Amino acid sequence: MTAPSLDRSTAGILFVLAGMVAISINDMLIKQLSGGYPLHQIVFTRSAIGLIFSLALVQMEGGWSILKTRQPGAHILRCLLVIVSNMAFFVALAVIPLADATALFFAAPLFITLLSIPILGEKVGPLRIGAVLVGFAGVLIMQRPWAAAESLDANRLVLLLPVFAALTYAIMQLMTRKLGATSKASALSVYIQAMFILVSLGFWLVAGDGRFAEGTDSPSIEFLLRAWIRPAPEDWPMLIGLGLNSAVIGYCLAQAYRLTDAATVAPFEYALLPMAVVWGWLIWSELPDPAVWLGMILIVGSGLFVFLREKQKARRVARAAIKARY
């Protein structure tokens, strides 16, 4: 790894951390709004506002010409994957505590690191593989598979939704790594915002009057399919904040996976876990149980190990390169 590539790795890590801060705020706001608005209305409002910010970033990164692509099919597939991932996670979030839902979703960085080997051909050494497996054990502990169904916050199907969201998210981020070689981060963000708007409008045309939510006793289904309503004045700051966060998330994550390999930046998505705990405690007085705390320690520890391993390898290669020059 040369000095410029090390700088790219550092920048990628900083971008993914900024994206995690934005995601934590995004998840907190959506959970706050989930009791009164349908998911597709929140997504439409968030994406319409986020698209404005994303288009401003397009102008900063080169203008309208960067929106052109020779791979429209791949971009559409990427956008659909992130939409499926988001909606599966948010539907679960209406029922599951924020920290627990986030923990379940954290199979995603593990999927990314492992799938980057066959899909992207990236090299992941045995020590990093071992760290990832430790992190995955932490995720399993946080899911509490031994618990009786009646003691859980939701049924098993709802608990599986964040894991399904994690898998689709992982595939989407690996596609970002490939598409990012020829597309700017702001363009990737615009594509996603536009697809979110189209899909949410489709939901509105089919289910916007709330007829499919009538008679249901499932908070998740009600959140997904309830009727659109006029936003209350006090909710607009949260909706605008969602739009801004949407643009920041799309840009930061696309930039992170463009700048460096997926196995390097993926473990830093674990920073979202403590942020989710803080929001859950501050707003809903929710704190994880001991099993969740144990799993969180394993996951964060594995992520830190991967980071230290990357720094160690970079220094060793850098010293060898300097010696060769002189």
Nearest-10 Cα torsion for 165, 166, 168, 173: 130
The helix/strand count (H/E) of the chain reads as 13, 0
Amino acid 46: pLDDT = 87
Q: What is the average pLDDT across 47-70?
A: 87
Determine contact, residues 257/180, Cβ cutoff 8 Å: yes
Of all residues in the chain, the percent with pLDDT exceeding 90 is 18
Whole-structure pTM value: 0.78
Choice among 59-63, 196-200, 257-261, 294-298 with the minimum mean pLDDT: 257-261
Most confident of 86-95, 103-112, 153-162, 295-304: 86-95
Amino acid 4: pLDDT = 54
Amino acid 256: pLDDT = 86
Q: Comparing C-alpha atoms, which of 326, 223, 322 is closest to residue 2?
A: 322
Q: What is the average pLDDT across 135-139?
A: 85
In this predicted structure, the answer to whether residue 101 has a pLDDT above a threshold of 60 is yes
Residue with tokens 């399993």: 140
Residue with tokens 């900083």: 14
Indicate the pLDDT class of residue 314, thresholds 50, 70 and 90.
low
| Residue with more model confidence, 69 or 91 | 91
Amino acid 245: pLDDT = 86
Dig out the tokens for 30 from the structure: 């959506």
List Cα–Cα distances, 206 to 48, 92, 121, in angstroms. 19, 22, 42
Choice among 93-102, 228-237, 258-267, 281-290 with the minimum mean pLDDT: 258-267
Q: What is the pLDDT of residues 144-199, one digit of tens each?
A: 777 776 666 667 778 889 889 988 988 887 877 766 556 777 888 888 889 999 99
In this predicted structure, the answer to whether residue 142 has a pLDDT above a threshold of 50 is yes
Amino acid 323: pLDDT = 40
